[in-house]
Chains A and B, each alone.
Chain A
Amino acid sequence: QVQLVESGGGLVKPGGSLRLSCAASGFTFSDYYMSWIRQAPGKGLEWVSYISGSGSIIYYSDSVKGRFTISRDNARESLYLQMNSLRAEDTAVYYCARLGANYGGEPWGQGTLVTVSS
């Protein structure tokens, strides 16, 4: 079945870096835009970034622009998020999702928790 599985979360100090991965299965990965969306503890959803199927179109939210980098490897059917210069306010559960303007966001992964704290 269509599935997304995130990994790579953990505890990191302010100013540190972390790389998240999202493994896709059950669909033709290269055909779809993919997004990262985060949710701070007890808060709402915040869109972070998306990448087109070919990787040629990339957008970021203002809150992460210049610090985070989204990428994908279609041969490995995997999505990545390189997070640098992490701040306490980046603490959240990070979800990957197959998200496109004309097909919504489905499915979502189970999420991976990133905690930025000294």
Chain B
Amino acid sequence: QSALTQPASVSGSPGQSITISCTGTSSDVGAYNYVSWYQQHPGKAPKLLVYDVRSRPSGVSNRFSGSKSGNTASLTVSGLQAEDEADYYCSSYTGSSTYVFGTGTKVTVL
């Protein structure tokens, strides 16, 4: 199972919006609405931001929103803030009854 494809880096200025893409196949992202997004700060464990493509756990800011079209899922961060600078990973359930993570995206706040 190959990793889902994410851009290596995305940047934006405070207050702007950025979007991170996550491209898979018809056997994972395209097949199930079980796409999750995680935020990881250096030296910390990942934190769940979005699950089931667009659902947010309680306590997660509504500045984070998820969507999906075909084999590509996306995470949009609105009103970018300094604390949003981190690594972001997508994940999907697969047709092999396993999970696959994305390659990861480093977000820089300019």
A interface with B by C-beta (< 8 Å): 35, 37, 44-47, 50, 59-62, 95, 99, 101-111
Tell me how far the C-beta of A99 lies from the nearest C-beta in chain B, rounded to whole angstroms. Answer: 7
Interface positions, chain B 24-45, Cβ under 8 Å from A, are 32, 34, 36, 38, 40, 45
Checking B89, B93, B101 against A101 with a beta-carbon cut-off of 8 angstroms, the contacting residue is B93
Counting from the closest, the 9 A-B pairs by CB-CB distance are A104-B51, A106-B48, A47-B99, A108-B45, A44-B104, A104-B36, A45-B101, A101-B34, A101-B93
Checking B55, B93, B103 against A44 with a beta-carbon cut-off of 8 angstroms, the contacting residue is B103
Is the Cβ of A109 less than 8 Å from the Cβ of B45?
A: yes
B interface with A by C-beta (< 8 Å): 1, 3, 32, 34, 36, 38, 40, 45-48, 50-52, 55, 57, 89, 91, 93, 96-104
Main secondary structure of the interface of A (DSSP, over half): strand
- How many Å lie between the Cα of A95 and that of B46 in the bound state? 9
Chain A residues with CB below 8 A from B34, complex form:
101-102
Which B-chain residue is minimally distant from A108 (CB atoms)? B45
Is the Cβ of B32 less than 8 Å from the Cβ of A46?
A: no
Tell me how far the C-beta of A53 lies from the nearest C-beta in chain B, rounded to whole angstroms. Answer: 15
Chain A residues with CB below 8 A from B38, complex form:
45, 105
